[in-house]
Amino acid sequence: MKKYERFILGLLAFVCLILQVTFGISLAIMFINALFSGSRQELSQVLLSSMEITHSPLSSTFIIFYVVVFSVVSVILMISYLNCIRNLLQNINEDIYFEERNLNLIKKTFIYYGAATLLDISGSIINNLYHINLLNQGPSNNIFYLPKGALMVLGIYVIYMVFKQGIRLKKESDAFV
């Protein structure tokens, strides 16, 4: 592998690490704010100010609970996904290609990204059904955005199957030699 390719892989792994740390810090800040806020009423007002829920039949307490739970689970899934991608990049940078650990990392990547996509789809459906409009959210709240996530999951699955066949062929050729 050429030096610039190793540099790019290292840089991408570093970007994944920075994103993981950023997501982790945002999760910690969210919990600290929730624990040490002056009052629950004040915290509720801050969260509700970023939503349009006037036509929703659900209570504001339930909507806040739903948004917080979905946000926390989404951040945890993205941290896990980025960890798998970072480890894959490091393995490739160390010339470790068709190995079982890479296959397991790709499988985990598929699971984490698939779960995040399902969470986005279910969140979008719930938001549309119960008229919850997150004001700071762009096109991901739009149901037509969601096939993009599903296509990405299919792409990860194809890569997983290619790696699985590559490992099988490598084992067969090693056994033959």
pLDDT tier at 140 (50, 70, 90 boundaries)?
A: very low
At 38-84, the pLDDT tens digits run 777 777 777 777 677 777 787 877 888 888 899 899 999 999 999 99
At 83-95, the pLDDT tens digits run 999 999 999 999 8
Cα–Cα distances (Å) from 110 to 21, 94, 133, 177, in that order, read 21, 22, 29, 33
Neighbours of 38 (CB within 10 A): 7
> Which structural domain, as residue segments, surrounds residue 51?
3-175
- pTM attached to this predicted model: 0.81
Domain tally for the chain? 1
Q: What percent of the chain has pLDDT over 90?
A: 35
Name the DSSP class of 143: G
Rounded CA separation 53/127 (Å): 10
Rounded CA separation 1/163 (Å): 19
Residue 134 forms beta bridges with which residues? 51
* Burial grade of 30 (CB within 10 A; 0-12, 13-18, 19 or more): middle
Rounded CA separation 64/47 (Å): 7
Task: Pull the structure tokens for residue 38.
Answer: 């002056």
